[in-house]
Chains A and B, each alone.
Chain A
Amino acid sequence: MAVPALRGAPARAGVKPPRLSFIRQSLTIASKDLRSELRTKEAINASFAFAIVILLLFSFAFEPTQQQTREMSGGLLWLVFAFAGALILNRSFARELPNDCLDALIAAPVSGAALFFGKALANVALLFAVELVSLPVFGIFYNVPWMQQFWPLVGIVLLGTWGITVIGTVFSAMTVNMRLRELMLPMLVYPIMIPGLLAAVQLTTPLVMGQPLGADSMIWLRLLVAYDVIFTALALALVETVLVR
């Protein structure tokens, strides 16, 4: 007497799972992350509210209507983005902890690099959304003509966001199982972000003030691109080690 379940087994083993390319795998992970985030909105709401609160606090620390304050608007903006980003990055891997989702993801037939890349893409999208809403708020609060150089500004913000997010996502994976996770991530990652943040600040300040980028800004653009490339490569190379126990 044959057992149906056993009869079915060899046929199933012969079927290969569909092989997805690296990009397809990453996009699948990213869309999963974005979908679950947009359903709960826990990170993005907190991050955006936090950004507004910091912008409000800055107005007490620095006289918001003074020309001097406008001249450091790049620095203020990127501090806001870095703080708001830490909230999103913290959730990125912590979201997978309930129900052992992280273990399932690691066991899934996608490489660690693809998992990481997908999460980084989702984090960039979320942080960029927060930034796109923070920019007009900043423009109104601090009276800066940020719209005049809109597309170059968007480009720089994207490059800077990519840099801080890609390194932040690796560190988010590193700190996910740790005590004091929320504290460890920013403490470890901010000093490492400094070159990328510095370049982004230098490029953002003239753009937010409505001035085009001059020739002397190119060194910062090169630094920012180099920072993005170096840390993306390093992150992709090392993330497998971080994820797989």
Chain B
Amino acid sequence: MRQKVMIGMAAVAAVLLARDLYVMLLKLPDEALQGAIYRIIFFHVPAAWTAFLCFFAAMIASILYLKGRNLKYDAFAAAVTEVGLAFGAANLITGMIWGRIIWGIWWTWDPRLTSMLVGWLIYAGYMMLRRAIEDPTERARLSAVLSVFAFADVPIIFFSIKWWRTQHPQPVVWGGGSMDPSMFNMLFTNWVPLLLLAGIFLMIRMRQEQNQRELDALRRYVHAF
């Protein structure tokens, strides 16, 4: 059943993505100032949204785990954090490619870039923590606590780095400005297939976690004799 749902979701995502790519590449005009490269925003921004959504979901699942001590929530939190890390990496990498072309530099210590990197490192630490603990319930308990701390820290990091950077002249000013509505809508339209993709990754990761638990149980069973 789950297999079929996953294949169905993948098919929908593929169709939507093909349609979005068609509109993006052939229908939407080049941006007045940036030319063709601006199209990376349709992946760059939804990837960031997906990552934050994943980290938020991880915090909720972690709280639920701490309340009920159901290992299912732990598996969900671990899986969703990993998917969030993947989308966070996609956000950082597309941002760097974009920055290289428009700003001429791979990286700038702008508040958003810095916050995303710090957030990414914190959640990478979450994955390291999981690797370092062998007992499943202890791993679940401690990583849930870390997830709560991490998500509490994310807004503080964002605002502190924003204040820090706005007190200094920025190397490249990237003004807010408005976007053409057809381009703006595409941000959301393209978010749908990316969310579906995140959902598929999540399901695959959850199944791996489940298999891992079953394997561990079997291994313990064998060692008992």
In Å, the complex CA distance between A234 and B128 comes to 22
Closest to B114 in A: A194
Q: Are B118 and A191 in contact (CB under 8 A)?
A: yes
Cα distance, A202 to B165, chains bound together (Å):
12
* B178 at the A interface (CB under 8 A): no
Q: A191-B118, A195-B153 are in contact. Are A242 and B160 (CB under 8 A)?
A: no
Distance to closest chain B CB from A18 (angstroms): 32
From known contacts A192-B150, A238-B145, infer whether A223 and B160 are also in contact, taking CB-CB under 8 Å: yes
Among B150, B160, B163: residue with most chain A CB under 10 A: B160
Check A174 for interface membership: any CB of B closer than 8 A. yes
Select one of A167, A178, A191 contacting B125, CB under 8 A: A191
Q: Is the CB of B156 within 8 A of A234?
A: no
Q: How many residues of A contact B (CB 8 A)?
A: 31
Nearest A-chain residue to B138, judged by Cβ? A245
- Inter-chain contacts of B132 with A (CB < 8 A): 175, 178-180, 184
Take A178-B133, A191-B118 as given contacts and tell me if A238 and B128 are in contact as well, using a CB distance cutoff of 8 Å: no
- Listed in ascending order, the chain A residues whose CB lies under 8 Å from chain B are 167, 170, 174-175, 177-180, 184, 187-188, 191-192, 194-195, 198-199, 202, 216, 219-220, 223, 226-227, 230-231, 234, 238, 241-242, 245
6 pairs from A and B in contact (CB 8 Å cutoff) = A167-B149, A174-B146, A187-B125, A223-B160, A234-B149, A234-B152
Residues of B in contact with A (beta carbons under 8 Å apart): 66, 118, 121-122, 125, 128-129, 132-133, 138, 141-142, 144-146, 148-150, 152-153, 156-157, 159-161, 163-164, 167
